[in-house]
Amino acid sequence: MPRTQAESPEERRRRAGRILEILHDLYPDATCELEHATAHELLFATIMSAQTTDVNVNRVTTTLFRKYRTVRDFADADDAEFEQEIKSTGFFRNKTKSVLGAARMLLEEYDGKVPDTMEDLVRLPGVARKTANVVLGTWFGKAEGVVVDTHVRRLSNRLGLTGEEDPEKIERDLVGVFPRHEWVFAGHAIILHGRRVCDAKRPKCPECALEAVCPRNGVGL
């Protein structure tokens, strides 16, 4: 992992600016790849995406969202049956508790509607800042932070944007180097680049458009 402590804040912001320029060229329409048609579908899909791929979640929700159409449908679901329906996403018991628990809390405290504030979202079962940032940025168009998943954690360190491992500390560093109006895009674009190019074990450095600004390769601004 690159050592970023020697860089000044200005140097790190300059690096971040160049990274954003390149990411906009690569992924101009970057957004969440979880398929959804409503705020609650995005919320529940994001909860289910923990420790699995969006492709796998989309495979499950193609059927799931036809059966459970409303928040009440989820709230009324049988826990054991729901566990089997989402089993292929992994950690299905905990995810069932979170999804159905969130649905029931939405009905009880939010009139069945997904709230649009960080404070309220993180009160829901299974929702931490990552999930809340996905929902706020993707559905509500609100930039309250940067999504930090495993890809963002890996790439932000490789690209010299942070030296932290804790997601909240990484997010703090990222919101410090990216302008607020880029927070939503930055998270989604970095995730896409992590999936397509900057693999955890075999990064495709020779074909990476970010190589020229990547301290991992001994280069940078």
**Known catalytic residues?**
130, 149
Alpha helices in 5-117 (DSSP H): 9-26, 39-48, 54-67, 71-75, 79-85, 92-109
Of 30, 13, 18, give the one whose Cα is nearest residue 210. Answer: 18
Q: Pick from 187, 92, 172: which is nearest to 136 by CA?
A: 187
Using alpha carbons, list the distances in angstroms from residue 200 to 42, 165, 188. 26, 15, 17
Structure tokens at 169: 């500390």
213: phi then psi, degrees, rounded to nearest 5? -120, 20
Q: Residue 46: which residues within 8 A CB-CB, separation 6 or more?
A: 32, 34, 130, 131, 134, 135
**What is the residue whose two structure tokens read 């289910």?**
48
Q: What is residue 110's three-state secondary structure?
A: coil
